[in-house]
């Protein structure tokens, strides 16, 4: 009875997974769930790992075995922490950089006005004859 309800619920929602299908087939045939299909070999970048790939929650296979997933997750977390640290420093320095840039721009504008005023003074004086 429960397997029929599960199939109706999955048919109504439109979601079906391999795991549910395996559970239902095991429930209908009476076989234990210990038999499961081979998910393929771990696809770790070295290519030397022959462990079986782990399963996702939805029943699909991950690309890595449990050992390499753990290792890769640690590497990713370390990278994320480093990225956050670097960008936190940049965020703190950003207002200081803006202030310095504004100061440089205002100084350059003031110098340009001074140069133009000096040029006007030199050209506005009539030459002695």
**15 in any annotated domain:** no
For the cut 90, the answer to whether the pLDDT of residue 72 exceeds it is: yes
For the segment 17-28, the average pLDDT, to the nearest whole number, is: 46
Q: What confidence score (pLDDT) does residue 10 get?
A: 42
- What is the chain's mean pLDDT, rounded? 74
- Structurally, how many domains does the chain consist of? 1
- What residues have CB less than 8 Å from 128, skipping those under 6 apart? none
> Is 25 a residue whose pLDDT tops 80?
no
Answer whether residue 54 is part of any domain: yes
Rounded to an integer, the average pLDDT of 6-16 is 43
**pLDDT for position 5:** 43
pLDDT at 73 over 80: yes
Measure the CA–CA gap between 100 and 106, rounded to whole angstroms. 10
Range of the domain at 54: 39-111
Question: For residue 45, what are the CA distances in angstroms to 49, 61, 72, 76, 80?
Answer: 9, 17, 11, 15, 20
The region, left, alpha or beta by phi > 0 then psi within -120 to 50, assigned to residue 71 is: alpha
Residue 118 lies inside a defined structural domain of this protein: no
């Amino acid at each position: 009875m429960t397997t029929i309800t599960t199939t109706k619920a999955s048919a109504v929602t439109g979601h079906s997974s391999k795991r549910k299908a395996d559970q239902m087939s095991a429930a209908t045939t009476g076989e234990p769930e210990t038999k499961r299909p081979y998910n393929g070999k771990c696809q770790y970048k070295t290519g030397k790992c022959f462990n079986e790939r782990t399963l996702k929650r939805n029943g699909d296979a991950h690309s890595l075995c449990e050992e390499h997933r753990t290792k890769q997750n640690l590497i990713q977390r370390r990278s994320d922490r480093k990225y956050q640290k670097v960008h936190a420093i940049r965020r703190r320095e950003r207002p200081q950089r803006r202030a310095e840039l504004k100061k440089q721009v205002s100084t350059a504008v003031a110098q340009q006005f001074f140069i133009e005023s000096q040029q006007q003074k030199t050209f506005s004086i009539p030459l002695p004859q």
